[in-house]
A and B are shown apart, each in its own frame.
Chain A
């Protein structure tokens, strides 16, 4: 079936089965490989994208459930958003990544958090980032980068 998807401000068409997860539609059919595959069951957060600004697990979201009018934002497009750009800058400045594989998902979750809570507490960060695993365990720096992006003092 042909599905129309609005990805990073562009309307794209993907001819895939209805049960195909959004992740694989983006990665294999549309060549948008920033969202990563980690678990396939929505448990690790590597595949996180925004659907109308809300973080979702694209590996567990069938493409048929995504409305034509819904705005999908991936890591490739998050820099067009002022908050997303700040988060990316904080991630780079604090050299957060080790392997870097989970970081697109972390950045998408962090951006969604800061859009709803511009000055998150530690408890807010724990809750908002609980769906994202970093196997390299860069959690100290992820926390610091979220605080940096929100203009709060940072202990690194």
Chain B
């Protein structure tokens, strides 16, 4: 039977169905007003209590290594008061009607679900208590719960959740808002280091990932696109591909012109991926000329400097009188900063398995954004979204790359054409050359400090990519509230844009992963110009106020001062004897609702090689860490990810195409270069927020500022050019 919550408003709606098979709880909370404005749809989560007491919790979001498949169910299990050992977790399919928006991005799952997932657990617990009270003919107030049992407190009589689940049909669903949630001091699961639910499968190599999917009669596909994004096929030798042993078909895909859609190319399908791959090598494709085939990184850099010589195409913020303040400043500093395009390169290359039958499509995909993929596939193939089912597999990394579903639409198209289930798998070279890159950018700064070390003027001409300064390429924009806006009385941000024919998109801590480097480095330059200790200078810049600016651009300066002081304290800032060519650098950054300050200790060898000895991180993500094991792993990983970008990563364009292809030309950081990362989470009275991203941005300037402290040489362009650092 189905029950509807009593006393619940239309904003809080719960359905529960209880039967001999147990209690199934569907939970739905309409978003808060602010969330609705941001386009976040209602959430549903499912809890199933079986007669044997095993509680199955559906993991609604994609798992990309951020640990969400474990941490969201932990929140439900805590309030349900069930031992973690009795919990089973199942990955949900893409089903927005049941679950609301399912995605992995923006470090948003914890802040979005902290409240409602606790209530899911609390409602289920309250219903089980009601069922027991009914059976024992006592008021619910006489009952409590312990380890998956309802307990009658005075008599110590007990009944297991499993035995009560079927009886929940006789009870009302309480208004979730009426329930008292646990005091954190009573937590048994939240706040306890909990290994990922899939750990045993991971360490024994069980099939979990998209690349591991197998379907009866499945063929394997390899797909070649032009290096120049969107160029069409002029000619190719399909027969040569078909002549390769094991190849079952080869065909041209017309594709479209939108860089985030199905791009033109040639598909080869075979009995094995190796056969398809060999067939592809025989295609001898000639690509048609394309409007973007002359673009290059060198050309963009030249154009950026030309634009910087003139006035910005648009001034997006102007506080006070910057030019007058610069004239009156005790010291002024001018500097140009730049960062390159970078690629995501998740370890699992893009892949997707698709099966088209009788007008319906079934898809197995490692995706961070399944519904967006379903809509793209529906549009491109002319199908109804309801005729497309998407199963989310574990993702071998995401980093924002799998928010785009280009590989999904390719697999769907190829499977329909091939009339067989098809697993499409990209090569690493396909992945490096067909990413949605973190866009490069150029910043031309000028700032002034007064005799007391106050920043009195700040001017930035930001040259980015896009059709116009107010229509930047994806992830190439910059907020007019970027720090230190609001903290400097005379502040000007100007923007100019260059058209781009390269796909761009979000990469872990989008925007922030580059903006932290340029802004925190330039602030460090100002500290040295003012003759001040960088930590003291940053604290002075942050001022004395608690909150600076108005929502939604309010900045909690008190929280940032807190992490800065903590990072200085834990790293022994200013109290550490440093060897020659060894230095410490500090940076802080607010992103994804998290306040982070980081200190790096770096040694620069005589040949310029940079060795990061250690990084200290002070983090403020609110009053509760849900899973301390996952939290620490995310922070350490994000910091080292940032370090990898700082030291190695650079994508360059020439003749319209990406020049790198594999880990030789596009290296990632390895074991010997990974420093220990020490992390401290400050406990502050704010709601818990996410950890997938915000530790990354300040890691880069902490390292480059440390390099300056060690060598007196300022890194103003990424990746770090060690040839500039020779003794």
Contact = CB atoms under 8 A, between A and B. Distances in A.
Interface of A: 16-17, 20-21, 24, 28-29, 31, 33-41, 43-44, 46, 74-76, 79, 88, 91-93, 95, 97-104, 107, 125-127, 129-130, 132-143, 155-156
Contacts of A134: 347
Given A28-B274, A133-B347, A39 B662 contact: yes
A59 to B, nearest CB: 10
Interface in B177-227: 193-196, 198-200, 202-209, 211-212, 214, 220
A98 B671 contact: no
Contacts of B193: 95
B674 A100 contact: no
The A interface is mostly helix, strand or loop, or mixed, namely loop
B349 interface: yes
12 contacts: A20-B274, A24-B272, A24-B273, A38-B348, A95-B195, A97-B199, A101-B348, A102-B347, A138-B636, A139-B670, A140-B636, A140-B677
B630 A95 contact: yes
B204 A79 contact: yes
Nearest to B428: A39
Given A98-B634, A141-B633, A38 B347 contact: yes
Given A99-B348, A139-B674, A140-B677, A41 B65 contact: no
Contact of A135 (B200, B205, B345): B345
Nearest to A20: B274
A92 B199 contact: yes
Interface in B405-439: 425, 427-428
Interface stretch (B16-24, B311-319, B466-474, B637-645): B637-645
A102 B670 CA distance: 12
A75 B200 CA distance: 12
Given A38-B428, A101-B347, A137 B205 contact: no
Contacts of A79: 204
Contacts of B594: none
Interface of B: 64-67, 193-196, 198-200, 202-209, 211-212, 214, 220, 245-246, 272-275, 278, 345-349, 394-399, 425, 427-428, 629-630, 632-634, 636-641, 644, 662-664, 668-672, 674, 676-677
A74 B199 CA distance: 17
Contacts of B427: 40
Contacts of B212: 33
A132 B671 contact: yes
A75 to B, nearest CB: 3
Contacts of B395: 99
Contacts of A135: 345-347, 397, 399, 641, 668
Nearest to A145: B203
A28 B275 CA distance: 11
A29 B273 CA distance: 10
Contacts of B275: 17
A143 B676 CA distance: 10
A65 B394 CA distance: 33
Contacts of B209: 36, 101
Contacts of B211: 33, 36-37
B637 A104 contact: no
Given A24-B274, A135-B345, A101 B205 contact: no
Contact of B397 (A40, A101, A104): A101
Contacts of A38: 347-349, 428
Nearest to A88: B203
B273 A99 contact: no
B705 to A, nearest CB: 21
A134 B599 CA distance: 23
A28 B212 CA distance: 9
B668 A107 contact: no
Contacts of B199: 91-92, 95, 97
Contacts of B428: 38-41
A97 B202 contact: yes
B365 to A, nearest CB: 15
Contact of A75 (B205, B640, B670): B205
Nearest to B629: A95
B719 to A, nearest CB: 16
A136 to B, nearest CB: 5
B537 to A, nearest CB: 30
A43 B205 contact: no
A101 B662 CA distance: 18
Given A36-B209, A101-B396, A103-B202, 20 more contacts: A24-B273, A33-B211, A34-B204, A36-B347, A39-B428, A43-B664, A95-B193, A98-B633, A99-B65, A99-B346, A99-B347, A99-B396, A104-B205, A129-B671, A133-B668, A135-B397, A135-B641, A139-B640, A140-B674, A155-B676
A16 B670 contact: no
A34 to B, nearest CB: 2
Given A21-B274, A103-B203, A136 B349 contact: no
A118 to B, nearest CB: 19
A43 B663 contact: yes
Nearest to A123: B672
Nearest to A74: B205
A79 B677 CA distance: 30
A28 B272 contact: yes
B396 to A, nearest CB: 3
Given A38-B349, A133-B670, A142-B671, A33 B273 contact: no
A137 B274 contact: no
Contact of B347 (A20, A28, A44, A141): A44
Given A88-B203, A137-B637, A140-B676, A39 B663 contact: yes
Contacts of B207: 33
Contact of A138 (B245, B246, B637, B670): B637
B662 A43 contact: yes
Nearest to A155: B676
A76 B204 CA distance: 6
